[in-house]
């Protein structure tokens, strides 16, 4: 979720203006002071990791599924998809669970949700504090965690989950449960939108600029193919509707409901279709 006070494009334009000699200080002086981007306290994951304590303030979890090739006459294709939650745990509640569920795992036990079904790689950072988890937010284009970067770079697709408010998404007050579908990969956006809409979820098509995941350096777009990835921004009301008890990580993980399964299944269906289309284009990976 972006900062609430400073528009991302305005900030970037302001910084660009400073390079060519425009009055940067006078421009920023009219806006609330910020430490990094928007309301971010830390300018990167590297800075975050130096400033807080892993295991106390935050945790990182990931899974890379094993690959091996001992056959000399053939070479397997790459791992195709990684699911991410950059602001999991108490930062943007529900995104850790969505990351795991879309990867194919139960959020509570990490057992496969559907034994025998495909499993995706995943990476997440989670806020562990009892309060002030928002201070651990690092904007997606500044995520420089080495494992996250390497997993994105080795994947044809990255799908990243985020949380936002209904007001930020532009959802109507009468129906605040909504999702903004973003990212640079137009085909993946289309597949996600079609499947989520078909499952009964409200898609915001106005694509608010601070939620659309269109920056090339957003980690969801730093993929193997160079075609970008996908980003889903879910409103608080939509995320809450996916759990019987939305408060507390343990409660969320163990009370995901039928709506949660409907949402993650729609995402998995879109990703499976994306992978099928990509495998039919072997030249996509020949660079």
Predicted local distance difference test score (pLDDT) of residue 68: 85
pTM here? 0.86
Structural domains of the chain, with CATH: 35-64+78-285 (3.40.630.100)
pLDDT for res 281: 86
Strand duo 230-235 + 157-164: pairing: parallel
Task: Write the pLDDT tens digit of every residue in 258-275.
Answer: 999 999 999 999 999 999
- Distance CA(63)–CA(81), nearest Å, equals 12
Q: What is the pLDDT of residue 23?
A: 35
Query: Encoding tokens for residue 38?
Result: 């928007």
If we measure between CA atoms, which residue out of 111, 102, 97, 86 comes closest to residue 245?
97
The tens place of each residue's pLDDT in the chain, 287 residues long, gives 544 433 433 333 333 333 333 333 333 232 233 334 568 999 999 999 999 999 999 999 999 998 888 988 887 776 799 999 999 999 999 999 999 999 999 999 999 999 999 999 999 999 999 999 999 999 999 999 999 999 999 999 999 999 999 999 999 999 999 999 999 999 999 999 999 999 999 999 777 788 999 999 999 999 999 999 999 999 999 999 999 999 999 999 999 999 999 999 999 999 999 999 999 987 776 65
Residue 130 phi, psi dihedral angles, 5° rounding: -80, -15
Q: What letters, b where the CB count within 10 A reaches 16 and e where it falls short, cover 117-155?
A: eeebbbbbbbbbbeeebbbbbbbbbbbbbeebeebbebb
Q: How far apart are CA 61 and CA 75, in angstroms?
A: 29
Residue 76: CB atoms within 10 A of its CB come to 9
């Amino acid at each position: 979720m972006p900062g609430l006070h400073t528009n991302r494009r305005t900030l970037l334009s302001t910084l660009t203006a400073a390079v060519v000699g425009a009055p940067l200080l006078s421009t920023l002086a009219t806006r609330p002071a910020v430490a990094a981007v928007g309301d971010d306290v830390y300018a990167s994951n590297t800075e975050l990791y130096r400033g807080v304590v892993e295991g106390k303030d935050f945790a990182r979890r990931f899974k890379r599924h094993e690959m091996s090739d001992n056959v000399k006459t053939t070479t397997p294709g790459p791992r195709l998809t990684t699911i991410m939650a950059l602001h999991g745990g108490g930062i943007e509640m529900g995104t850790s669970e969505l990351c795991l569920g879309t990867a194919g795992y139960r959020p509570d036990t990490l057992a496969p949700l559907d034994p025998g079904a495909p499993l995706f790689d995943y990476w997440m950072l989670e806020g562990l504090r009892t309060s002030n988890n928002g201070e651990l937010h690092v904007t997606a284009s500044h995520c420089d965690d080495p494992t996250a970067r390497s997993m994105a770079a080795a994947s044809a697709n990255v799908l990243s989950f985020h949380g936002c408010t209904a007001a930020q998404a532009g959802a109507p007050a009468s129906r605040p449960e909504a999702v903004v579908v973003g990212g640079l990969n137009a085909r993946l956006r289309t597949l996600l939108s079609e499947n989520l809409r078909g499952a009964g979820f409200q898609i915001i098509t106005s694509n608010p600029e601070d939620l659309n995941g269109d920056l090339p350096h957003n980690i969801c777009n730093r993929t193997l193919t160079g075609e970008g990835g996908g980003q889903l921004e879910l409103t608080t009301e939509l995320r809450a509707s996916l759990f019987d008890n939305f408060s507390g990580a343990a409660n969320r993980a163990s009370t995901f409901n039928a709506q949660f399964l409907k949402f993650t299944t729609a995402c998995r269906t879109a990703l499976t279709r994306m992978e099928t289309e990509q495998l039919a284009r072997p030249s996509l990976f020949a660079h």
